[in-house]
């Protein structure tokens, strides 16, 4: 399998408030690369978001904005690429929100949500949160809500699903964005 696992953390409830992004690159069913950046959102931080991920305004004051890193990342969000996220509607919404906020062109790619695939393939789990699925599958997740750790965990969830069920059952979860 070849795909990119993506995770965002946000400063507040606004979809354009990304304060970190991570990508894990998978080729031939192996994680072959990782990308992580703090981001300076053009908005305030909400205390609840800080409590969840630990990113504070002073930590991103010298970080690039989303629009500054997008030229480097845009190549991965094209129609031939599969982008995977745990709760993809959230992460895809943050990506769309950032693109719209900064006046950047829409991204069109294939998307797979590992929450959806986990619900279908592991119906007996008590819930399908990232940390719960990782615990059941024996996937290490030491620092939940760290975008890089979450993207690696998401990649490993899909790789475990591939190992247990093959690729054919996973195709039903791919959507075009």
Please tell me the pTM assigned to this model: 0.96
114-121 vs 88-101: helix crossing angle, rounded to 10: 170
Angle at 15 between CA 14 and CA 21, to 5 degrees: 120
How many structural domains does the chain have? 1
Q: Could you read off the pLDDT of 22-69 as tens digits, one per residue?
A: 999 999 999 999 999 999 999 999 999 999 999 999 999 999 999 999
Burial of 85 (0-12, 13-18, 19+ CB in 10 A): buried
Percent of the chain surpassing pLDDT 70: 100
Q: What is the residue-level pLDDT of the chain in tens, covering all 177 positions?
A: 999 999 999 999 999 999 999 999 999 999 999 999 999 999 999 999 999 999 999 999 999 999 999 999 999 999 999 999 999 999 999 999 999 999 999 999 999 999 999 999 999 999 999 999 999 999 999 999 999 999 999 999 999 999 999 999 999 999 999
The CATH code of the domain that includes 132 is: 3.30.420.10
164: number of Cβ within 10 Å: 11
Question: What residues make up the domain containing 114?
Answer: 3-176
């Amino acid at each position: 399998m070849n795909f990119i696992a993506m995770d965002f953390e946000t400063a507040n409830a606004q979809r354009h408030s990304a304060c970190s992004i991570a990508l894990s690159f998978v080729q031939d069913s192996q994680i072959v690369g990782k990308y992580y950046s703090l981001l300076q959102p053009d908005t305030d931080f909400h205390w609840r978001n800080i409590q969840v991920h630990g990113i504070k305004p002073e930590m991103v004051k010298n970080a690039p904005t989303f629009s500054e890193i997008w030229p480097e990342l845009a190549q991965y969000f094209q129609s031939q690429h599969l982008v995977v996220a745990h709760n993809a509607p959230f992460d895809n919404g943050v990506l769309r929100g950032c693109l719209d906020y900064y006046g950047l062109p829409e991204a069109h790619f294939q998307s797979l949500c590992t929450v959806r695939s986990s619900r279908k393939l592991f119906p007996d789990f008590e819930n399908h949160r990232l940390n719960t699925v990782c615990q059941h599958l024996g996937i290490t997740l030491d620092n939940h809500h760290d975008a890089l750790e979450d993207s690696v965990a998401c990649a490993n969830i899909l790789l475990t699903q591939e190992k247990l069920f093959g690729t054919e059952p996973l195709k039903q979860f791919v959507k075009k964005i």
